[in-house]
Structure 1
Amino acid sequence: MNKPPYDALLVLSFGGPEKPDDVIPFLENVLRGRNVPRERMLEVAEHYYHFGGKSPINDQNRELIDALTAELAASDISLPIYWGNRNWHPLLPDAIRQMYDDGHRSVLVFVTSIFSSYSGCRQYREDIQRALNELNMTEEMSLDKIRTFYNHPDFIETMAQRVRDAIAELPEEGAQQRKVLFTAHSIPSAMAATCAYEKQLHESARLICEAVGIDDWALVYQSRSGPPQQPWLEPDVCDVIQELADQKSTRQVVLVPVGFVSDHMEVIYDLDDEAAKLSEEVGIAMSRAKTAGTHPKFVGMIRKLVEERLGLATEKQAIGKFGASHDVCPIDCCKYEPRRPAPVPPTK
């Protein structure tokens, strides 16, 4: 029997504080080496304190790992799953060291980021290389990232079901004046020019709308964190809600955080808190679709992506205009040199 090309699976994520005392050290870790005023960091810290000082992201990663462990076992895929974060415990170098100590040398990596950009893809690959360099393991271990899945049919169907559920929460009255807003994290325009981020977001939103039967929709952005003089992707979700209210053309909005894998801090603060309050103030009924999270279709999709790299799948599934993404990123893929001072970090 041929030896499988990989002997472990790593779930790689952003990380987040687990308690109030973690918040400032976490943000200092995110900002290390960056010229961001402490006042701005403290402002971001208040987002965490608003929710008790704990980000939901770590618990959601634990839930995803539990679901994925069961999914792989049900398909007789014997890959132990490890977990590492970019910015908080369990940290990526510690996870790599643990995998090495456990005897693993060829690791497949699932990054909890859907779309191609510097911060969502390339930076994670740089993190991996940096950790291997620091551990002096560049010759001993290999870690390969799973491909981007924005147009995988199971991701599209997962989000289509999430949208249907969100629509069902709204009253029948006003349904004819409903707008669906797909939200994603804004990034600097200069970063967007180096990657397929916008194109992929538009394609995912289009495919989801096609599956649900939605005609009136738009792509908007949230969580901008850069200095005012630096152009970032627009329009902002709250600005659009205000415009819709001013135009008196919309009575309902459905917010779909298509750019996020799970309901972490940015989703619950920017959408469930800020956008929800604004919608109530301007008299627009709002419903927010859940993220993919641990939806069975989404967990099954990850298993299928693993099977692709293990050589167990006969085809790479993708729908829409652009086909399946590459397994190995080109050398200049999503290349971007962040400006200094760097943008304030996203809240996870």
Structure 2
Amino acid sequence: MKKRIGLLVMAYGTPYKESDIEAYYTDIRHGKKPSTEEIEDLKARYEFIGGLSPLARITNNQANALCEALNETYSDVEFKLYIGLKHIHPFIEDAVQSMHEDGITEAVTVVLAPHYSSFSVGSYDTRAEQEADKYGITLTHVQHYYHQPQFIQYWSEKINETLSQIPQEEHDDTVLVVSAHSLPKGLIERNNDPYPTELHETAQLLEQNTHIKHVAEGWQSEGNTGTPWLGPDVQYLTKSLYEQHGYKHFIYTPVGFVCEHLEVLYDNDYECKVVCDEIGANYYRPVMPNTDPLFIGAIVEEIKSVY
């Protein structure tokens, strides 16, 4: 018989319906209720991208695709899927409790984020570990997978496909903007967190594996905490690159994210495009990994390396 273990896929979460927005936003703010203006601003962003975010649907699709791929890969293990979210039900703790109720005593965890930070992936792992300890469940954590060849292959292929849409003689006037979700700068520096280094290594790997000539690194979607966050922000970076180099074509690859959702559909496709329109440059953004076999395969390979 195959050994039966849990597969805990963790993600940020998103409102399922408009009435979820206030509770979701409150959870993000550690229990502090947002103002009416803040709620309306978030609603407006969702409305701009066509309603609520597709994140919930895509997260489910990614998790199911990963579980299926793992069960095809492992001949001696049967993975049972559980989804745990950070800011909305089913919460991470709910998923771990469900594992216990199903008699699961061992599980592999993976966060749908390719780079490790103690404040992102690490925080998910800590919550899962604390709940698992209550039930004696042993967890094996995937910390990152940005370096996996299939992850780099996915983005390299998309970058080269996008570059092929730009006339060859204008490739020197083209820049690739590689970005991830910003985090508080002070916390990163105090803890010598590997997050910025991992994004830098991703940018280097993409430069080495594509035909792109110019690469820049930026950060996006920072929170409003009144303290410095990792920068430069991609909007500021776009203006700066144009002023310094006069680039005509900007290719945005938000590699710190794994699917089409608010931070990409609004923060990139709207806010960055507005800047490009202002400076008279062309905006490009390759499709996100979603359930692409290369992306799913990269996570499978990382799981094979730890379990």
One fold, TM greater than 0.5? yes
Q: Distance in 2 between matches of 1:217 and 1:128?
A: 36
Q: Distance in 1 between matches of 2:22 and 2:107?
A: 32
Task: Quote the offset at 1:301 in angstroms.
Answer: 1.8
Q: Distance in 1 between matches of 2:258 and 2:14?
A: 15
Task: Quote the offset at 1:46 in angstroms.
Answer: 2.9
Deviations, residues 146-181 of structure 1 (Å, cap 9, x unaligned): 132221222111211121222234455633300111
| Worse-superposed segment, 210-219 or 112-121 | 112-121
Q: Which runs of 5+ in 2 are unaligned?
A: none
Q: Give the aligned residue type for 1:114.
A: P
Counterparts of 1:60-209 in structure 2, within 5 Å, are 60-75=58-73, 76=75, 77-132=77-132, 138-172=134-168, 174-193=170-189, 194=191, 195-209=193-207
Q: 1:26 to 1:49 in 2, by over 3 A?
A: farther
Number of aligned residue pairs: give it.
303
Give the helix-richer structure, 1 or 2.
Answer: 2
SS of equivalent to 2:79? coil
Task: Quote the offset at 1:142 in angstroms.
Answer: 2.4
Q: 1:176 to 1:308 in 2, by over 3 A?
A: closer
Query: Is the CA contact 1:245–1:283 (under 8 Å) kept in the aligned structure 2?
Result: no
Query: Is the CA contact 1:177–1:252 (under 8 Å) kept in the aligned structure 2?
Result: yes
Q: Distance in 2 between matches of 1:153 and 1:27?
A: 36
Deviations, residues 95-143 of structure 1 (Å, cap 9, x unaligned): 22222222211111011122122332221122214434xxxx5243223
Q: Distance in 2 between matches of 1:198 and 1:204?
A: 10
Counterparts of 1:237-248 in structure 2, within 5 Å, are 237-247=234-244
Percent identity at matched positions? 26
Q: Give the aligned residue type for 2:67.
A: T
SS of equivalent to 1:149? coil
Query: Is the CA contact 1:114–1:120 (under 8 Å) kept in the aligned structure 2?
Result: no
Deviations, residues 199-254 of structure 1 (Å, cap 9, x unaligned): 111001101110013331110111121334x2211111111222334446111010
The aligned counterpart of 1:268 is 265
Task: Quote the offset at 1:60 in angstroms.
Answer: 1.0
Task: Quote the offset at 1:39 in angstroms.
Answer: 4.1
Counterparts of 1:20-99 in structure 2, within 5 Å, are 20-34=18-32, 39-75=37-73, 76=75, 77-99=77-99
Counterparts of 1:219-258 in structure 2, within 5 Å, are 219-228=217-226, 230-247=227-244, 249-258=246-255
Q: Which runs of 5+ in 1 are unaligned?
A: 311-348
Q: Distance in 1 between matches of 2:169 and 2:22?
A: 46
| Worse-superposed segment, 48-57 or 103-112 | 48-57
Q: Distance in 2 between matches of 1:202 and 1:239?
A: 18
Q: Give the aligned residue type for 1:25.
A: A
Q: CA RMSD in A?
A: 2.3
SS of equivalent to 2:222? coil
Q: 1:154 to 1:35 in 2, by over 3 A?
A: same
Deviations, residues 54-85 of structure 1 (Å, cap 9, x unaligned): 12211111221232233223324521222111
Q: Distance in 2 between matches of 1:84 and 1:121?
A: 13
Query: Is the CA contact 1:116–1:197 (under 8 Å) kept in the aligned structure 2?
Result: yes
The aligned counterpart of 1:7 is 5
SS of equivalent to 1:225? coil
The aligned counterpart of 2:292 is 295
Query: Is the CA contact 2:171–2:213 (under 8 Å) kept in the aligned structure 1?
Result: no
Query: Is the CA contact 2:25–2:34 (under 8 Å) kept in the aligned structure 1?
Result: no
Query: Is the CA contact 2:180–2:218 (under 8 Å) kept in the aligned structure 1?
Result: yes
TM-score normalised to structure 1 length: 0.79
Q: Distance in 2 between matches of 1:105 and 1:164?
A: 44
